[in-house]
Amino acid sequence: MKESIERKLIQKRSEILNSRELTALAAIESEISYGFLEYCRSKGFKLIDVPHMTKATGACENFLTIFDVDFFGEQVYLSQTGQLYLEAFLHQPGFERTCCIGPSFRREEKVDDRHAIEFPLLEVEIADCDLRKLRYHAEGILSTMASNVSEKCTEDLDVLGVPPEWLKTFRPPYEVITYEKAITTLGLSWGSDLKAEHEQALVEWNGQKPLFVTHYPQEIKFFNMRLNREDTKVVNSMDLLFPYSGECLGAAEREEDYLTLRKRLEDSEMLSLMQQVIKKEPGMQDKTDFQIKADAISRFDWYLDLIRKHPVKHAGFGMGKNRIFQSMVASEDIRAAGSYIVNKETIL
């Protein structure tokens, strides 16, 4: 994207609502959403309405970035993902593939060029699925989106200064490397999380093309990512890195062994962050740490019960729509990569 346009697009939405640049964004966004939904419809995915307020099960790893809402005197949280709810249907006939589309809310203290406070998250969960099958679906969805944009948004790309050839970048198949290979390439030590600059270095190393990185250390990933049975240091996870935006998709097989799952929840970073948050809820002040931890775990009971009763092998992913979009319009700044993006500067 042209830098001058990028600068224009990170202004307050109300300042640019009438601009051709903003409608160029919105036209492309529309094709991306329809692309996702068309793919899902054609492959038999059930489109599920997921809740956007939960007691805890709408949270991602970093519970500190969750927004709370006073819900008639109780505290509830705005959801960041519908994943667990999508998983809940998979064992039922006809529901082997589920998907949802909706807002994800992240209380990011530092508004920067990589983080949005609210963005649409596109999610799928699939029964009887592993990383290989997930790649097939991820590539299918992303190439449907890219073809839609190529075919229907020629003028819009032109307005933003994006060369039409750029969309060819998203043609599958995408390269796949392990986390281990990635850190060796980058000269990092085992256990390091990949920061934005590392993701960009890997994409560059791959010739500015999309790249899957698989098998991350279990400690740095969500509690329900499935432990690799041959090497329990890692989980069967997979992040997709895109030029410009870095991680735009987080995928994993899900743990279906109840005891492993429960233990991983109990030991998870998420749960300890969650305890810091929920001990400030009304009525929690006089509880012991032990009671708070038990309360935190109990909020996942419905999900744990479900896995205990119906241990179906399954896998899924979530895609940050603005990250995908940012890459498709080749923008350096996520704030320029969406027709709204709520943050402190741009809230309407």
Where does this chain bind a second copy (CB under 8 A)? 13-14, 17-18, 20, 23, 26-27, 29-30, 33-34, 37-38, 41, 46-55, 57-58, 67-72, 74, 76, 78, 85, 88-89, 91-95, 101-103, 105, 107, 109, 117-118, 120, 301-302, 305-306, 309-310, 321, 338-340, 342, 344, 347-348
For the record, the structure tokens of 307 come out as 């896995």
Nearer to a second copy, 99 or 182 (CB): 99
Dig out the tokens for 206 from the structure: 């791959």
Nearer to a second copy, 128 or 155 (CB): 155
> Is residue 308 helix, strand or coil?
helix
Nearer to a second copy, 41 or 263 (CB): 41
Token pair of 105, please? 């809310």
- Calpha distance 74→76 (Å, rounded): 6
Dist CA 255 CA 265 (whole Å): 11
Please say which residue, 38 or 130, places its beta carbon nearer to a second copy. 38
Phi, psi of 318 (to 5 degrees): -125, 140
CB 276, min distance to a second copy, A: 17
Return the amino acid letter for 59.
A
For a second copy, the closer of residues 158 and 219 by Cβ is 158
Task: Give alpha helix (H) positions in the chain.
Answer: 3-9, 13-16, 20-42, 83-87, 131-152, 154-160, 179-186, 196-205, 258-267, 269-278, 289-298, 301-309, 321-328
Which CA distances in Å does 339 have to 13, 26, 134?
8, 5, 29
